[in-house]
Structures are given as structure tokens and as C-alpha cells.
Chain A
Amino acid sequence: MKREDIILTTKQFLSEEFEVDSALILPDNNLQQTLDLDSLDYVDLVVVIEENLGIKPTADDFKTIETFNDFYDLVEQRLNA
């Protein structure tokens, strides 16, 4: 999957799942703040990521993810591994 496709797919499922305007899902925006995630939301996040992108990030992965760009890097890395 190309990075543009990852971004497009991610915007679509995250805006639907977390009821956020997809225009706010910008590469340099903070993922947690933009999606207004609390600790319990992360299990939902992992479920939709797995359903839509086929990878399952761990708690350790999210320690290094601040922005959507960080997230796209992780997805790209996992899909191309």
C-alpha cells in the first residue's frame, strides 16, 4: 500500500470511528488530541487499525507516535516489512 493510500484510508476510518472532521487529520497534527482519545479509546483504535490496515500496533508503538505522520511511518514500515 502506498503512503497516499494509507493516508486516505486512515482519514476515512478514523473520522468515521471517532466522529472527527477528516480535514483535521493532518500529517503534523497530534493524533491523540485530534481524535480526543482517552486511555480506553486506544483499544478501539487498535481494532479499527487492524480491520482497515491489517496491522496491530502495541502500547509501545504508541509511545513513539505523536503526530499522524508518525503513525503513517509506522504503518508504512509494518506493511513493507
Chain B
Amino acid sequence: MLINKENITSIIPQRAPFVMIDSLLTADESGFKTEFKIVPDNLFLENAILSESALIENIAQTCAAGFGYLNSLEEDGEPKLGFIGAVTQVQVEKTAKQDDLIETSVQILSTFDTIHLVEGVAKSNGHVLLTCQMKIVLA
């Protein structure tokens, strides 16, 4: 594990109750992995089912954590602003529920200048919950 739950907000801009990742497991130039436990007071739970938009947010925050971590390793280490330019090819396979552990992986498919095309996959218990592509712009 690279960053644990206690320190995750040091590399992402989101703050409670909108933090949708617990820990950053891996991060390198090819992609990132995070984990997230769905606790009972999660804002996006309805009847103990997590909304799909929360999974998209989880993938976006996985990107933020990964890029934020890699950025922190650079010499100047100055935080960069990140924007979601597009979310495409969203496929919902299964819903997540309270107490599930979400394992999210993001693969960087291509980079052009400051724009990164990534593919995110959120899984729980080995089952794919949601996949999508995002264009992340780092300023």
C-alpha cells in the first residue's frame, strides 16, 4: 500500500463526506489501484445500494490519487489541477452494496500533452461493477 486511509486526503482534493477512496495500493506510469469500503453513512447509499455515480466518482478519485501520488514524487512536487474532460463508454454490470469492498483499477491508455485517456474498472468480490473511460486533463 502506498497511501493509507489516514493520509489519502494528502493527495486528492476531495474532503469528507465526498471522499470515495480509502487507500492507494499501486501507482506507476501505466495505471493505479485503490480500495474503498462502503460504510453505512456513505452519502450515495440508498436502501443499502451504492449509486452508479458514486462508482464513477470512485474511478475519478482513483485517477486523482494516482496522478497526485506520481506528481508528489517529482522534484518540484507542486500539486497540479486536474479536470475530467469527458466520461465515455460507461457500462454498469452490477450494483455495489453497503459493506462491500470496492477494488478499482485505472489503466492509462494514452497520453497526449496534458490529456490522459484512461480506462477504469470498479470491482467487488472479483465481479465487475462498472467500467468507463475518462479524459483527464492536468493543468
Contact = CB atoms under 8 A, between A and B. Distances in A.
A39 B116 CA distance: 12
A59 interface: yes
A6 to B, nearest CB: 21
A50 interface: yes
A16 interface: no
A39 B128 CA distance: 31
23 contacts: A39-B115, A40-B85, A40-B86, A40-B115, A40-B137, A42-B113, A43-B110, A43-B111, A43-B112, A43-B115, A43-B116, A43-B117, A43-B135, A44-B117, A45-B112, A46-B110, A46-B112, A47-B110, A47-B117, A50-B110, A58-B112, A59-B112, A59-B113
Given A42-B113, A43-B135, A59-B112, 12 more contacts: A40-B85, A40-B115, A40-B137, A42-B115, A43-B110, A43-B111, A43-B112, A43-B116, A45-B112, A46-B112, A50-B110, A59-B113
Interface string B92-115: 000000000000000001111101
Interface string A43-64: 1111100100000001100000
By secondary structure, the B interface counts as: strand
Contacts of B135: 40, 43
Interface in B115-137: 115-117, 135, 137
Nearest to B135: A40
B110, B111, B117 interface centre (most CB from chain A within 10 Å) = B110
Contacts of B86: 40
A8 to B, nearest CB: 24
